[in-house]
Amino acid sequence: MCGIVALVGSQEAAPQLLEGLRQLEYRGYDSAGIATVNREGLLTCLRAKGKLVNLSQRVDQQGAPGQCGIGHTRWATHGKPEERNAHPHRSGDGGVAVVQNGIIENHRILREGLERDGVVFQSETDTEVIPHLVSAELKRRVADGDPVDGTTLLRAVQAVLPLLQGAYALAVIWQQAPGALVVARRAAPLLIGLGEGEFLCASDTPALAGFTRTILPMEDDEVALLSPLGVELYDGEGVRQQRMPTLL
Ligand code: GLU
């Protein structure tokens, strides 16, 4: 079982992502990584094999600026536990970053289709198909006149999810929508935390407890757009959901 932490708010994301990942260490992992995006649209992705301390040293040395980001501790299922297979995975242009917990069962056929379209893969994981698919969908939508914003990222992820078979929880950021974070789950845990001016998402409550006691557990096939303005939650059919959060 790996761990996901993701957040968007008004403070630097990297220290909070690392702290959240520390709280998920009990789940076991072989590598870890984070990606952040800052207001200027700089997406930074840092990963390291082994213990979280390796990743935090890299973050200290290289920096990961931005108030929106995703983090992951990986338990390898597809591809060896090496840095190139650690999450986040990115699209070819580096603009979309994804973390995923679970298994994309039909990744091979998706990968073959993307490779026929000229995509060059950087890892052996099942997960890497997702940033490539989301990026292609974003490019189509922007070319068709959709705005470059979080709603378009949400719509792109919603268009890609039906292509994925398996059990997963995932989080996606896009450098062109620096204040937006899209998360989704099917048969893998994911909880949204509603903080003071920040919104988080994690695989389990310990990663949220330091930030907030107000929790919105996601249900199967739900997708959410998190931004500094709040949370939009949708079911698998794209219908907006309104639920009262619970207290930890
Ligand atoms: N299947 C993915 C991988 O091998 C995610 C594994 C996990 O849940 O950590 O990278």
CB under 8 Å to 65, separation ≥6 — which residues? 12, 14, 36, 38, 42, 44
| Mutation to probe ligand 1, out of 25, 77, 84 (largest number of atoms < 8 A from CB) | 77
The pLDDT averaged over each successive group of 10 residues in the chain (248 residues) is 92 97 95 97 98 98 98 96 97 98 98 98 98 98 98 98 98 97 97 94 94 96 96 97 93
Per-residue model confidence (pLDDT) at position 31: 98
Q: Could you identify the atom of ligand 1 that is nearest to the CA of residue 87?
A: 10
For ligand 1, whether the C-beta of 102 sits within 6 Å is yes
Q: Could you identify the atom of ligand 1 that is nearest to the CA of residue 103?
A: 1
CA 142 – ligand 1 centroid, Å: 30
Residue found by looking up tokens 């700089």 in the block: 42
Its pTM stands at 0.98
**Is 39 in contact with 93 (CB distance < 8 Å)?**
no
Per-residue model confidence (pLDDT) at position 196: 85
CA 29 – ligand 1 centroid, Å: 10
CA 143 – ligand 1 centroid, Å: 32
| 246-247/214-217 β-pairing | antiparallel
Per-residue model confidence (pLDDT) at position 1: 65
**Is 182 in contact with 223 (CB distance < 8 Å)?**
yes
Looking from the CA of 158 toward its CB, the CA atoms found within 13 Å total 20
For ligand 1, whether the C-beta of 234 sits within 6 Å is no
